[in-house]
Structure 1
Amino acid sequence: MNQPATLTVDAYFDLICPWCMIGKKHLETAIAWLGQAHPNVAVRVDWHSYPLLPATPPGGTPYRDFYLARLGGPEALAARQAQVCAAALDAGITLALDRIETFPSTLLAHRLVRHAVRQAGAGAAPALLDELFTRYFMHGENIGDPQVLRRAAAACGIALPETGANAGQPDLDWLPPLHDAEAPPLRAGFGVPHLVFNGTHSVSGARPPAVLLEAMQRALARAQQRATLAAG
């Protein structure tokens, strides 16, 4: 099949969601498989910030207390954590949820991702996302803390200017705002991870790589059909 040269992926995510970390790994595996089957197809992934709980206090809230209240008790919490840890292991990821003390606000971290993309292009996002996911889900760091975010940026080679009143300070209030004309609209009932391929085929949840590959191939076939009709 004479497929188009580019597959676009719009990936909606939040940094407090372990399923997004798992979904990112599955997406990378599916893209690698697609490259083996169709080496002529270039894939572009655009990561869209989608904070699930934007009203979380800037300093965060106690992690265990948050989930006990949200899930209804210790047994439900243990069951949910066992489920997500098992799914992560299937993706080659070992979570350390017992290390997490603070359920963070992710707004500042999302703004940092936006800054990285503006500074270095879309290719800067994957490494920073991996760094932030790792710091939170494996090391238990509070990714709502500006000092943690500065260390994450430095680890990824992302320049953060320290000039004027903010020189030498951890404050990151100067980062570009998240919800402006470039940000995707928030919709009730919308969950993450959520992937849209070529604007026509979408997949919600941390689905296995084979499911994502099938959606990619369908999106490519749909685009080819459209191109053929337009040329005819």
Structure 2
Amino acid sequence: MSALHLTVVSDAICPWCWIGKRRLDQALAILADHQPDLAFEVSFFPFMLNPDMPAEGVDRASYRAAKFGSVERSRELDARVAAAGAECGLEFRHDLMTRTPNTTNAHRLARFAAEQDRQRAVIEATFRAYFNEGRDIGDAAVLAEIGAASGMDHDATLARLRSGEAVDEVRAQAASASRAGITGVPSFVLNRHFLFSGAQPVETIADALVAAARHPAIAAAG
């Protein structure tokens, strides 16, 4: 069987997207051992939870207090995320996150990385930079460093990020995901067939991938 294309619709500031990616990685490792005839090509498609976010981002604490009604409620949600992340080996450092960024540039970096077959590494590094290190992933210089650490040329990447290249394309893709009915991320699409949304348990992801991959219509759609 040829590789099936698995698209993960995701946003760089969605904590459940990092958790979902880690659980997906674990599910794919299980399938590699127990379903060796199945192969998946994974790519990431942009989604923007905050499409109207200012380009420079905003103060995270005040933004989330306004969004969720109070600082206390925001902290409760952060604690829930941190606990879920710890279960799959991720450490969330909410104490280091001072800004909520606009993610257009992060999605552009992921797009450029895909051209060099480095997208999954860059996506992981971007999540880690924000959620574990508290870095501003809306900043082109920060993103160029992330790309360089994943094998991309630093200066070329920085120049592309500082240009207007792919800004409209990334925003259009994110808008198209919303128009297609995707309201929550991460969402998973196999050979253009929507599977599910949310950071599902590892076993649920693995079972869903096997069932979908062995469905004749989905397999043929590749």
- Select the residue among 28, 31, 34 that pairs with 2:28: 31
Do the aligned partners of residues 89 and 178 (structure 1) sit closer, same or farther apart at CA in structure 2, a change above 3 Å counting?
farther
Shift of 1:43: 1.1
Instruction: Give the counterpart of 1:148 among 142, 166, 170.
Output: 142
User: Aligned pair 1:45/2:45, yes or no?
Assistant: no
1:36–1:157 CA distance, 2 compared to 1 (3 A): same
1:12 Cα deviation after fit: 0.3
Match of 1:172 among 153, 162, 185: 162
**Deviation per CA, 1:93-128, whole angstroms, max 9, x where unpaired?**
01101111111011011111111112x13xx11110
The alignment status of 1:196 with 2:189, answered yes or no, reads yes
Residue equivalent to 1:69:
66
Give, in whole Å, the separation in 2 of the partners of 1:171 and 1:49: 16
Runs of 4+ in 1 over 4 A off after TM superposition: 160-163, 224-227
Specify the SS of the correspondent of 1:40: coil
Give, as a single letter, the amino acid of the residue that structure 2 aligns with 1:159: D
Q: Identify which of 119, 138, 163 aligns with 1:125.
A: 119
- Structure 1 residues 141, 150: CA separation in 2 closer, same or farther (over 3 Å shift)? same
Letter in 2 for 1:138: N
1:186 paired with 2:180, answer no
Distance 2:156 2:190 in 1: 38
Secondary structure, aligned partner of 1:179: helix
The structure whose Rg is larger is 1
Cα distance in 1 for residues equivalent to 2:146 and 2:219: 43
Q: Note the residue ranges of structure 2 that are not aligned, 5 or more in a row.
A: none
Cα deviation 1:1-20 (Å, max 9, x = unaligned) = xxx33232110000010000
| 91 and 178 in structure 1: CA distance in 2 versus 1, 3 angstrom threshold | farther
Q: Which residue of the partner structure matches residue 212 of structure 1?
A: 205
Return closer, same or farther for 1:226/1:66 CA change in 2, 3 Å cut-off.
closer
Give 1 or 2: higher helix fraction. 2
Deviation at residue 153 of structure 1 after TM alignment:
1.3
Query: What do residues 112-166 of structure 1 show as CA deviations (whole Å, max 9, x unaligned)?
Result: 1111112x13xx1111011111110011110001111111111112125559xx9
Q: Secondary structure at the match of 1:206?
A: coil
Percentage of identical aligned residues: 30
